[in-house]
Amino acid sequence: MRLTSQGKQPPIGIFARDFSVPGALLWIPVPANESIAAVANLGHPFGMSDELTIRSDLRVGDLGRITTLHGETYDPLGGYGLRFEAYVGQTVAEFVLGNDGCGKVWLAERGTRLVGCTAIVLRDDNIGQLRWVVVDPAERGQGLGGQLVSNAFDYCKENGCRSVILETTDGLPESQAMYEKLGFEVVSDDSEELWDGPRPLIIMKKPLP
């Protein structure tokens, strides 16, 4: 028995389903001055870098990722469940639909995973509104939140803002203490109808030099 010329060809259908890194390497052309390990970055699954990066170009899919990060980060606190996630999603959507994206968003990523974000929404009267300040609990204590907020302040100054405002609520003493440390002061704490009923809507303000 002999194989025909067609039978001698590699079984492409089988290899097409082999998504493992070793299988993929069989088909990656390696430049003469590069090693296979360098091309595949074998130190991380699927060859992806685990480096922390910050970008500010908002892409398709980012709005949902911002909403998900808030939902997953706040859910363990109690009172911040599915309705809170939906509430955040509404404000994120308004940034594009109601404000035409007038402002800037910073996204911190470790590899392909979103681990932190913040944003500035440019308002009337030279005011910047700080929004969606959140850092994955596993990434805290490394100065990431401070770096994101610092980027936001710099952006406000570049755009002629005279002050920055933010909205928060009760039950988040650590967040409010951080904002006070950054120079924010409470200017209003009236009760408003939020995601789960009446809550104090705490508005804080920081003047810019």
pLDDT score, position 99: 86
pLDDT for 79-108, tens place per residue? 899 999 999 999 999 999 998 889 999 999
pLDDT score, position 153: 98
* 82 and 29 in a common domain: no
Q: Which domain holds residue 186?
A: 52-207
What's the CATH number where 64 sits?
3.40.630.30
Which stretches in the chain have pLDDT values below 70? Answer: 1-49
3 is a domain residue: no
126 is a domain residue: yes
* 97 and 24 in a common domain: no
pLDDT score, position 5: 53
Helix, strand or coil, per DSSP, at residue 67? helix
pLDDT score, position 2: 55
201 is a domain residue: yes
Kindly report the pTM of this predicted structure.
0.76
* 57 and 41 in a common domain: no
* 58 and 43 in a common domain: no
192 is a domain residue: yes
* 160 and 145 in a common domain: yes
34 is a domain residue: yes
CA distance 124 to 160: 11
Domain count for the chain, please give it.
2
* 69 and 149 in a common domain: yes
* 28 and 124 in a common domain: no
142 is a domain residue: yes
CA distance 119 to 173: 21
**Residue 43 is encoded by which pair of tokens?**
């130190």
* 177 and 106 in a common domain: yes
* 174 and 153 in a common domain: yes
* 197 and 105 in a common domain: yes
1 is a domain residue: no
5 is a domain residue: no
* 56 and 37 in a common domain: no
CA distance 134 to 108: 10
Q: How far is CA 192 from CA 74, 139, 197, in A?
A: 20, 32, 8
Q: How far is CA 74 from CA 71, 88, 141, 162, in A?
A: 6, 11, 17, 31
CA distance 73 to 90: 17
pLDDT score, position 89: 97
pLDDT score, position 163: 98
pLDDT score, position 171: 85
* 110 and 42 in a common domain: no
Nearest residue to 48 (alpha-carbon basis) of 107, 117, 142, 113: 113
